[in-house]
Structure 1
């Protein structure tokens, strides 16, 4: 079976002073909402380069979202196999 699916990520990045936050949300193929959050803080001695804060905060939000996706898949597999399943990142 071959199937092509498109899932959309909704991303918001907010910079407030030395802190940048990223929130990423998505709806899984079966309609479950998942969310990842990431934060970056600039050291007071570092130059203000917003792109770097964005990259770090977004990466951390994507990592959290990825872990939640793996947990969701493990739960789905476990329900079908009637046992606890753990998927490594």
Structure 2
């Protein structure tokens, strides 16, 4: 039987004085997995907000991925344990 899911990630970006913060949220059923990312502009670099967005978003998505893999690992261990 084919199993299909459609998960959507919400990504929120906040920029303030050379620092961009990203917050990624993935709803999986009754649980939400979140990831955080930050990018700081070197004061000597040009102000190009898109680069901060890309770095912070990528870091938030990476954090979310690590957490999602941890959840999967815990689930695998839970079903692999012998029953009572």
Q: TM-score range by the shorter chain?
A: over 0.9
CA distance in 2 between counterparts of 1:15 and 1:23 reads: 12
Structure 1 segments of 4 or more deviating over 3 A? none
Does residue 53 (structure 1) correspond to residue 52 (structure 2)? The answer is yes
Q: Hey, what does 1:81 align to over in structure 2?
A: 80
RMSD over aligned Cα, in angstroms?
A: 1.2
TM-score for both structures, normalised by structure 1? 0.87
Please report the TM-score for the alignment, with normalisation by the length of structure 2. 0.92
Greater relative CO, 1 or 2 (CA 8 Å, sep 6+): 2
What are the superposed Cα offsets for residues 40-73 of structure 1, whole Å, 9 maximum, x if unpaired?
Answer: 0000000000000000000000000000000000
Where do 5+ consecutive residues of structure 1 fail to align? Answer: 84-89
Structure 1 equivalent of residue 26 of structure 2 = 26
Structure with more of its chain in strand, by fraction: 2
